[in-house]
């Protein structure tokens, strides 16, 4: 149970880091001039964040479980 909750905490941290990083990347790299801030926030929150959280949870769970 300890491994699961620690992995969940790591996944939440990874979500936050990836969502903010995704927002920054989209604002710098997108050519959208009409609604760039909305595109950046939605992509960060619903694409980069969840992908990073899932990957971080799996990696953390497997690496903590191995010890």
| Residue 50: other Cβ atoms inside 10 A | 14
Give the range of the structural domain holding residue 50, as residue numbers without chain letter: 2-66
Q: What pLDDT does residue 59 have?
A: 98
Closest CA to 53 of 12, 4, 21: 12
Please tell me the pTM assigned to this model: 0.92
Quick: pLDDT tens for 4-58. 999 999 999 999 999 999 999 999 999 988 999 999 999 999 999 999 999 999 9
Q: Taking the CB of residue 5, how many other CB atoms lie within 10 A of it?
A: 9
Angstrom CA distances, 50 to 20, 41, 45, stand at 12, 13, 7
How many domains does the structure of the chain reveal? 1
């Amino acid at each position: 149970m300890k491994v699961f909750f620690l992995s969940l905490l790591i996944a939440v941290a990874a979500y936050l880091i990836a969502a903010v990083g995704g927002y920054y990347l989209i604002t710098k790299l997108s050519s959208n001039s009409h609604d760039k801030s909305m595109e950046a926030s939605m992509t960060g929150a619903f694409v980069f964040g969840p992908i990073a959280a899932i990957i971080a949870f799996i990696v953390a769970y497997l690496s903590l479980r191995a010890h």
